Amino acid sequence: MQRVTRASVTVDGEVVGAIDRPGLVALVGVTHDDGPADVATVARKIAELRILRDERSAADEGAPVLVVSQFTLYGDARKGRRPTWNAAAPGPVAEPLVDAVVADLRGRGLEVATGRFGADMAVELVNDGPVTIVVET
């Protein structure tokens, strides 16, 4: 997660998701062992982690969240010069879990924008702080 002042995702020249005020960008990667229980944990952390200004959370502030699926979070570059993506779950497994995180966040009353799963996305953001937090389940 990154605390941002603004952020957007563009696919093929079209802005598909954006937040235009302070909030969070959640880069969500899914691995083979992730499941429905992880969805609730990740959504709760995104909503309630106190990383906004004055130790506030997105839920406290009503801050927007831009969720971007990102399998490359599970890239392994320990050997050689070419990363392997073996730890990333395949699309048919990952996409429903990313969608479930988005639905959970919206169910908490948060404004949520998204990227486009599987697309070549241009992600622009202004990191505020900078603040970047890794959340793993």
Q: Which residues are catalytic?
A: 70-72
Q: Which amino acid is at 132?
A: T
Q: How far apart are CA 132 and CA 51, in angstroms?
A: 9
Q: CB-based burial of residue 80 (10 Å sphere; 0-12 exposed, 13-18 middle, 19+ buried)?
A: exposed
